[in-house]
Structure 1
Amino acid sequence: MKLEEFYSRLSNKKNNVSIERISSEFKELGLENFLMVTMNEEMEIWDSTEKEIKNLATSPRKADIEEWLRPLLNDIEKYKNDNLITMFFSYLPRKNYYIAVEVANRASIFKTLPNLVPDDTSINHMICFEKREFKNILLLSRLIPWSIGAQGLIGYRIYGSDLSFITDLASFNGKPTIFPKPNDLVHFCGNMFRRDTDPYKIKETREIIEQIMKENVFDTELEMSFFLREKIMVPIQEEYEKTEKFIREHINDENCDIWKAEKEQIYTDLVKSNKIHVRWESEKKLFDLVAKYFEDAIFQHRPSWLCPQSLDIYIPSLRLAFEYQGLQHYEPIDFFGGEESFKRRIELDSKKKALCKKENVTLIEWHYNDTITKKVLFNKIKQSGLSV
């Protein structure tokens, strides 16, 4: 779908301005082909995909691909047991993640799964409860799912992106990969969202796919999508369906009251112990990336010369700072105080830039549209004139 047509269909017109900021690059990269695919287009892709799938099942690279996947496959297969309830969830810097980890620590098995790509900073967990641990099973299952308006923790991520987005936005003949439907992975781990309705997410996911393909494991993106689905997503989906069936057979109103009260208590304890203190997800995600490559990175640095303001991220050894610039830095947002606060924020941003220049600190602004990846990070550093 053309971006202009997509704009016209948006019910929330305030997003038009921000989407237009990436429109030129979006079009140049041919990403309109991945936006809001019609049913007729889907049917055409199904037919051609189905023919290719038969060949992929006997791909000459199958053994090499399975070897690449083996460390992850071993962990998933090792604990496959009818007497265990197994769940998978990934790190996102939000309240429910920290509560989920506290619950997962009660499990008989709580593992951090290996990442498939060496420089991926994603954190993926697998948890196995014995069936008698019903309260913890119910609690964890209610902490990690997808919900209206919010992505879930459940599943497995590469470079922070859910596998369902990666496999569905892989390119096949210049268009998104669409496997014949119905299939068990259409709503992977309960994800009811379409993968082709967010230009930002499409752009970010396509960049992540490019990074995966640089591993030279797969000949084509369709091959990548096929094997990630068959070898990783299918077993995870099987465990998800098993868990949901178990919960349906045991859930009642009393159980719901118990898990809600337990969640509130765990959260209260975490707040009291200062284990939950990060408010904005994107800033934390950016810090995690920077800290992976620069060990002396500081989160929310407050030098005396900048008081009372702070630097989102600061690397002392390079005198380099990063500022994550949310939408409120570019246009008035009611949630952030409207027009008056916007004008004040512009003044503070200008003051911060001037003070950084005076103190010989290189300040890099990270626009909220910029993908948080290693490639973008080092490109920005290079563009700033620093050599690392």
Structure 2
Amino acid sequence: MRRYWISIVLSAFIIVGLGTYYVYGAVVDFPGYKISKVSGDVNEGSKISVQGNFANGGRYQLLIATAEGSDYPNRRSAYSQFFSGTRPWMNDQADIRQILNDHRSFMRSKGNINSFYKDDEWIIYADAVFNNAFGVKSEIVLSIDTLNQTSGVVKHYETIVEDPMDYSQIFVEDVQLIGEQIHMFIGQHSKTNQNKGNSNSSKVEYHDYVVDMNSGALMNNISLALGDNTKDNVELFDRSIMNTIYSAPSDHAILIVYDEQKRVNDYMGIIDEHLYSYAYKTGVLTDLSDTMLKAGIDDIGDIRLDGHILTILNYEEDFIKLSRYNIDTEKVTNEDISLSAQQLGAEKIIMGTTKNNKLYILFYKNDIPKVAVLDATNGAILYTGEVVYEGEASESKWTMNTEGRLYMQIAD
């Protein structure tokens, strides 16, 4: 009898979901918007989506505009959201989405986008779990799956790393294949009372676990020491900057460590910050702060990694500046790209981002969101576009709310 009740409940859910979709769509008018080319190559704007709140009277709706048209996430029915597929964060990444489409069987139960590696021959998924069950010696389990794209052969390994540290959390930051060695770059939070008597503080360590891809044997465990946690009244904070394309091969991992004054009356000030490069091939950790300063880069701003090139982006409402730094040569690769809002024809620059040697800029003028695509190597403007209403302008009662509610995303 129980199985029949499950079928009845599921059928009711589908009927209600479909009904909600059609009734909601019929009652609420959703005008169409799209990103329209103003100048340049229309293909350069095909990967951009602009997200913002559009208002009609007292109502607000999240709208996502692309060159193809518009989408209202809130309009989607419960049915479509429930059955549209799991792991939407993976579908947002073109490289991961391609692996999903080409190798569905291999991708089953794999959900961490930082755990993927892909080149012309291999696809690798490597994840880690901390096992500290009561009465069991604490250990980290490295779970690795490899797929040879030529032969179709899949192999699975589980490698045990015994570790006495009391970790509260571990997370995979990056996976790389160097020769026949799989490198798993993992951040590990451990409880510690060494930080000047603060028993609730958390210490972060990074480890490069090196595994033989043929046998699954652990070949090396390289621990990285970052910053100085012995300073008075100072706490360390860190974040990793991995490759822009999650699964792409890379020789480096990038880490930023901040020395921050301990919180006093809700105030926390940055005392110092360091930018580190870790080389997988050599196991050497290098502090890039001084070399970048000598190269003329005094503000690390928003950093992205493309292979061995660091892009450093700084922007305010009235200007945007891009620098490119070669990790291997320790030199800037070209002159800085610097533009004012006036040069862009903008009232206000909202944001910028870089990807695949392109600089993407979101700005607005006269309450109209606009976008520009520049060649990040020389500053040439490749494309400009704007979000426009699809229909007669006099028919649209909808207006863009531009105050801190705009966002741009690059699909590929």
By the TM > 0.5 criterion, same fold? no
Larger radius of gyration: 2
Decide which structure has greater helix share.
Answer: 1
Q: TM-score normalised to the size of structure 2?
A: 0.27
Q: TM-score normalised to the size of structure 1?
A: 0.28
